[in-house]
Amino acid sequence: MNRYNWNKKSTQPTVTRVTRKSQARLTDHQDPEPGAYGKRQKLTDSALDQDPSQMRVNSQEEMSKGGGECVKMGSSSGSRSTTAPPRGGVSSVARLVKLGRCKNLVVVVGAGISTASGIPDFRTPGTGLYANLEKYNVPYPEAIFNIDYFSNDPQPFFSLAKALYPGNHRPNYIHYFIRMLHHKGLLLRMYTQNIDGLEKLCGIPDEKLVEAHGSFATASCHLCYTTYPAEEAKHAIMNDKIPTCSFCAATVKPDVVFFGEDLPQKYSLHTKDFRKADLLIIMGTSLQIEPFASLINTVRSTVPRLLLNRHAVGPFENIPLRRGDHMELGDLEETVRRFAEMLGWNDEIEELMRTQEVLTMPSLVSSPLSMSQQKQCESRGASEPAGLMEISMSGPAAQTAASSYSEETDSETDSKSSVSSGLSN
């Protein structure tokens, strides 16, 4: 039986395909030059020890050399294994927020924020996505998200996509904590590597969200970029069919950014957001994928950076930590809950979760409960969060109601802020 050894690095297979013309995308978005926002690529081991300002873009061949390794979620594969002791952690940062020192927060997240919703991350040994891909018959784990490999054989990705499509999981406490940052008027922008759509489902508005690695919400031809109805693409994939472009007959895929593809135009917002930020929060990421991983090094040197993760990663592995860097390691959902309690937000977040879940599609009721949701149920002696089964609402109706609630709560926040401002004056 043909089985792959995932502990050994393997060579990327040679594939032949038509060269993609960048002009097709330039016509649509009027980018100043090809690759203006960078291409998604794996950060190689040697690059982990480089100064980010001197880091050069790795070739696709170099990216693929690290394809066979699996590392712990939130941990680097570099040679440095010593964990830096936390400096202050969430208590110090909570104090800064309560004192009003941080008013423009940028949040950077990875797959670790969704594990509490029942979605596996990519690199945790044994349970991570990359550790369970043998059945898809790919030569190395990242091949399933490699655009060259997809062009040659799209079936492995489509088989995996059936399990990845959004709709079977609910946002957890971490997502709603970030939603509360927006509700409090503190969220400048959220940058996510995730493609599960849970950020939008919990009510974070599109203008506050940058999905750096794309999403399943839209679909297009992977060669000529002709748009394709997302629901038709999903229907074909769910029925083991390959959607094809009506213009060039090439394979259509959801607009998830693969290794070797340009990042979405919206990613360019980082050039102004990170200069404006006065607090950077990093959660649930291994900082293994460029150019996303280097974003955290673009804030001003005086800006506090807080890492909430299971393991130290990137610059947070350095000893001593940079002045202004803070770190809290451990179970992410528990850490974020403790952070919210220090800020005095926990009750508001719990209420927001209950209200928002009532307004989401009832199909989510059958999905596994997160740890925080289980605690809510236990406290009420119920099997489901209060009110979750009381309203039957789906499709546009649910989205409209959720949008109305979001506008109402945000308006309430603005009103309270105005009153507070008036009192202080």
φ/ψ of residue 116, rounded to 5: -70, -15
Specify the length of the chain in residues: 425
What distance in Å separates the CA atoms of residue 157 and residue 70, rounded to the nearest whole number?
Answer: 19
Report the 3 state secondary structure along 150-219.
HHHCCHHHHHHHHHHCCCCCCCCHHHHHHHHHHHCCCEEEEEECCCCCHHHHCCCCHHHEEECCEEEEEE
Q: What is the Cα gyration radius of the chain?
A: 22
Q: What is the spatial order of strands in the sheet that 214-221 belongs to?
A: 227-228, 214-221, 252-256
Are the C-beta atoms of 278 and 103 separated by less than 8 Å? Answer: yes
Give start and end residues of each alpha helix (H) in 277-345: 332-343
Q: Residue 288: CA atoms inside 13 Å, Cβ hemisphere, count?
A: 29
Distance of CA 185 to the CA centre of its chain: 21
d(CA 169, CA 165): 10
Torsion 73-74-78-81 (CA) sign: negative
Give yes or no: 213 in active site. Answer: yes
Around Cβ 13, how many Cβ atoms within 10 Å?
15
Among 213, 222, 270, 326, the active-site one is: 213
Tokens linked to 21? 């013309």
Distance in angstroms between the alpha carbons of the first and the last residue of the chain = 76
Catalytic residues: 213
